[in-house]
Chain A
Amino acid sequence: MKLAGQSTVLRLTVLSAPLLAALLAAFAFGPYPLSPAEALAALWAGPSAESDAATVMWQLRLPRILAGLLVGAALSAAGAAYQGMFRNPLVSPDILGVSAGAGLGAALAIYFGLSLAAVQALAFAGGLLAVAAVVFVAGRVRRHDPVLVLVLAGVAVGTLFGAGISLVKVLADPSVQLPSITFWLLGGLNVVSPGDLVLAAPLVAMGLLPMALLRWRVNLLSLSDEEAAALGVNVARLRSTLIVSATLVTAAAVSIAGVVGWIGLVVPHAVRLLVGPEFSRLLPASLLLGGGFLVAADTLARSAAAIELPLGILTALVGAPVFLWLLARPGRGGT
C-alpha cells in the first residue's frame, strides 16, 4: 500500500480505517464481561446512568481510550518531528533524555511516598529538566555539528538520569516502593483519570500546534544547515522550536502514561513507508496511526489477562516485529 501519490483526503481516510477498528475493539473488549448489545445500550444510556455497564463504558473505557489516542498521537508526532529534524529514521522521542528525566522524577516521587498528582508533576518536570540540560550543554558547544552534539548530549544526559533511576531503585524499599517504580517505568494507562486528560491534552495541543504550523519548513531540515539557511530558514530557531514542542508533547504523554517505548520510533517509520517522508503528510498520518496503535495495544493490555500487561512491553512485542516486517518488505521504500 503506497499512498504517497494519492490525494490527502483519500490517504487520511484509508489511514483512519485501522484507527476506527481499534476504537471499536477498545469499546467492545475489557475484563468486565459485557456483550456488544449491553455495551451499546450502556453507551446510549449516557454517562449519568446508574449501572455497572455505564460505569465501565463511560468512566473506565472511555477515558482510557482517549488517553490512548492522546499518548499514542503525541509520541508518534514527536517521533516524526525528531526523525525529520535529526535526519535519521532511528530516532525516537527519547533521544534527548525526556523519558529518563520523567522516569527519575516519578521514581523520586514514589520513593518519597508522594501522591499521584505529585508523581505526574515530577515526571513532567523531570522530562523538561533533562531536555533543558541537553539543550543547555549543546548550546555551549560551537565546534561540532549541532545535530551531532544534541544527540551525544542526549545520550549522556539520558544515561545520567537513568543512573539516577537505578540508584533510587536500589535505595527503595523492595517490598513497597520498588514494584511501584518498576511498574511506572513499564508504562500503562490504568491510572489515567479524566482529570489527567484535562491537564495533559492542552499541553500536547500546545506542542503539536507549532509542529503543524511549521510543517513545511520541517522538510527543509533534511538539507544541510547551510542549504536550509540559503533558502531563508533560521535553522537554529526552527530546531529550538521543534525541540520545545516535541519535548512538551512527550513529557505530557509520559507523565500520564509512564515510559511507553517503541511507538515513537515505529509509527513514524511505518507511516513514512506508507505516505512518504513529506512532513505535512507525515504528521497527520502519524497522529492517526499512533493513536490507533496505542488504543489497540492498550485494549490488549487490559483484556488479555486479569492483570494489566504493561504497555511498554506490548508496544515492543507488537512494534518490533511489525517494524522488521516493514523493513523486510521487498521493493518498497520511503525514507
Chain B
Amino acid sequence: MNRREYLVALTGLSAVPWTGAMAAVPSILHVFGALPPPDRVRRVFAAGGPAAILTHVLAPDKLLGWPWPLSIEARALLAPLVRNLPMLGRLAGRGSTLPLEKLVALKPDLIVDGGAVDATYLSAAERVWRQTGIPYVLVDGRLAESARQLRETGALLGVAARGEQLARYAEETLSNRCNRAVFPRPGVYLARTADGLETPLAGSVNGECIEAACAVNVARGPGGGLARVSREQVLAWMPDAIVSQYPEFHVLARQDAFWRRLPAVRDGRLLLAPALPFGWLDGPPSINRLLGARWLASRLHDPSARTDWVDFARDFNALFYGHAPTREELMRLPGLT
C-alpha cells in the first residue's frame, strides 16, 4: 500500500472531523492515537466479545486472544488457528478484567473495540490510549452497520479484500429484504435465559436481529436495554412468534401450560436458534448475528421453505469463521436437529 492509499484508508477511519464528502457520512470508527499502517498491523487485542468476533472473521491470524472463556463446544466448531487462543479478559472501563499492564505486555499494534458508542465508551477508550500509548479503535456495533464494520475495519487491519467479501454478504443479508416481506410485520418476542422472561426492549442492541429479519420487537418499554418482564405482559403483547437461543427455555415453553397456550407456541412459531460457536441472534452482538437475521427472516416469512439450515450454517461457518464443521457436528446443535 502506498502513502496515498494509506491516507485514503485513514479518511474512512479517523474520528477527526473531516471535510467534504466524509462529513456527510460520519465514520463508524472512532480512533484514538496514531494508527499503524495497515500492513504493519499484526497483533490485535479485541476489547470485548463483539470486537473479538469482528477481528476473528476478518483477520484470525492477528487476534491475540478471546475476551471471555470460550466453551469447549464453541472451541470445537472453530478453526484450529483460533480454537486454542488464550482467554485474555476484556477492557470495559471499570468492568475490565484485563490489567492495563498485561495489555502493554501483550504488545498489541492496535486495540479494537465494538458496541455502543457514547461519551462513556469514547472517554474510556481515550483513557486507555493515553495511559498505554496503544492506538484504540472503537467500532459502532449496530447490526445495520455490519457491512461498514467489515469493510472499514478490514481496511484498517490490512485485509481490505477480505473485508469487502464479507461486507457484500452482510449487505445482501440486510438490504432490501423487507420489501418482499409480509405486512403487517410479525411481532416477535425474543426470550432470553432459561425462564424466557428476560428480553431486549425494542431499540436495544441485543434485539436488532428482529428488525433485521423484517419483524417488529413486541417488547416496548422504558429504557433501551434488557429488561425482566412478566408472563402477563408477554400475554398482553401477544407475539406472533417467540424466538430464543436457550434450549432450556424451548423445553419449558413446550411443557409449561402458560407458554403452550400462547398462539405463537400453539401454532408452531416457537423458534430455537443455535448458539454455537457464537449466538445466532445475540451473545455477543456482533457479525455472528448475520446468520440469525437470515435464519429468522426465512423462518418468519417463508415457513414452508425447505432450507437445509445445517448446510447453510456450514457455509456461513466456512466463509466467516474459516472452518466448516462436519454435518454431524452441526446436527448436534440444539436448534439444528
Question: Any chain B CB within 8 A of the CB of A24?
Answer: no
A55 B261 Cβ-Cβ under 8 A: yes
A60 B221 Cβ-Cβ under 8 A: no
A174 B227 Cβ-Cβ under 8 A: no
User: B36-44, B182-190, B277-285, B297-305: which one contacts chain A?
Assistant: B277-285
Q: Find the B residue at minimum CB distance from A193.
A: B256
Question: Any chain B CB within 8 A of the CB of A241?
Answer: no
Shortest B240–chain A CB gap in Å is 16
Question: Which of A55, A171, A179, A308 interacts with B230 by CB under 8 Å?
Answer: A308
Cα distance A170–B208 in the bound complex, in angstroms: 25
Question: Any chain B CB within 8 A of the CB of A280?
Answer: no
Given A302-B230, A305-B221: A191 and B236 interface contact (C-beta under 8 Å): no
Looking at chain B's contact residues, the main secondary structure is: loop
Shortest B335–chain A CB gap in Å is 15
Kindly state the interface size class of chain B when it binds its partner. Answer: 35 or more
Question: Any chain A CB within 8 A of the CB of B207?
Answer: no
User: B90-98, B131-139, B310-318: which one contacts chain A?
Assistant: B90-98
Shortest B64–chain A CB gap in Å is 19
B228 A310 Cβ-Cβ under 8 A: yes
| B233-257 near A? 1/0 per residue, CB < 8 Å | 1011000000000001000100011
A306 B95 Cβ-Cβ under 8 A: no
Shortest B24–chain A CB gap in Å is 32
Question: Any chain A CB within 8 A of the CB of B201?
Answer: yes
Cα distance A60–B230 in the bound complex, in angstroms: 9
B192 / chain A contacts, CB cutoff of 8 Å: 176, 179-180
Shortest B272–chain A CB gap in Å is 15
Kindly state the interface size class of chain A when it binds its partner. Answer: 20 to 34
Which residues 157-193 of A have a CB within 8 angstroms of B? 170-171, 173-176, 179-180, 183, 188, 190-191, 193
Which residues 210-233 of A have a CB within 8 angstroms of B? none
A306 B229 Cβ-Cβ under 8 A: yes
Question: Which of A119, A183, A306 interacts with B221 by CB under 8 Å?
Answer: A306
Cα distance A325–B236 in the bound complex, in angstroms: 37
Question: Any chain B CB within 8 A of the CB of A8?
Answer: no
Question: Any chain A CB within 8 A of the CB of B107?
Answer: no
B283 / chain A contacts, CB cutoff of 8 Å: 173, 175-176
Cα distance A115–B304 in the bound complex, in angstroms: 33
Given A170-B97, A175-B283: A308 and B228 interface contact (C-beta under 8 Å): yes
A60 / chain B contacts, CB cutoff of 8 Å: 230-232, 235, 258
Cα distance A174–B29 in the bound complex, in angstroms: 22
Cα distance A190–B227 in the bound complex, in angstroms: 12
A175 B282 Cβ-Cβ under 8 A: yes
A188 B228 Cβ-Cβ under 8 A: yes
| A231-248 near B? 1/0 per residue, CB < 8 Å | 000000000000000000
Cα distance A180–B97 in the bound complex, in angstroms: 19
| A39-72 near B? 1/0 per residue, CB < 8 Å | 0000000000000100110011100100000000
A32 / chain B contacts, CB cutoff of 8 Å: 232-233, 235-236
| A301-320 near B? 1/0 per residue, CB < 8 Å | 01001111010000000000
Shortest B93–chain A CB gap in Å is 11
B193 / chain A contacts, CB cutoff of 8 Å: 110, 180
Question: Any chain A CB within 8 A of the CB of B156?
Answer: no
Q: Find the A residue at minimum CB distance from B246.
A: A113
A171 / chain B contacts, CB cutoff of 8 Å: 97
Question: Any chain B CB within 8 A of the CB of A30?
Answer: yes
Given A55-B261, A170-B97, A307-B222: A31 and B198 interface contact (C-beta under 8 Å): no
B261 / chain A contacts, CB cutoff of 8 Å: 55
| A275-303 near B? 1/0 per residue, CB < 8 Å | 00000000000000000000000000010
Question: Any chain B CB within 8 A of the CB of A202?
Answer: no
Question: Any chain A CB within 8 A of the CB of B159?
Answer: no
Question: Any chain A CB within 8 A of the CB of B82?
Answer: no
B206 A175 Cβ-Cβ under 8 A: yes
A191 B195 Cβ-Cβ under 8 A: yes
A302 / chain B contacts, CB cutoff of 8 Å: 230, 232-233
Question: Any chain A CB within 8 A of the CB of B274?
Answer: no
Question: Any chain A CB within 8 A of the CB of B220?
Answer: yes
A190 B220 Cβ-Cβ under 8 A: no
| 10 A-B pairs with the lowest CB-CB distances in the bound complex, closest first | A306-B221, A307-B227, A307-B221, A308-B228, A31-B233, A32-B236, A176-B283, A60-B232, A302-B230, A190-B230
Known contacts A32-B236, A59-B231, A305-B222, then 15 further A-B pairs from the complex at CB < 8 Å, ordered by chain A residue: A31-B233, A116-B194, A174-B68, A174-B92, A174-B95, A175-B49, A175-B285, A179-B192, A179-B198, A180-B192, A180-B198, A183-B198, A190-B230, A307-B219, A308-B227
Q: List 17 A-B contacts (CB under 8 A).
A: A33-B236, A56-B232, A60-B235, A115-B194, A116-B194, A119-B194, A175-B49, A175-B284, A175-B285, A176-B283, A179-B192, A183-B228, A302-B230, A305-B222, A306-B219, A307-B222, A307-B223
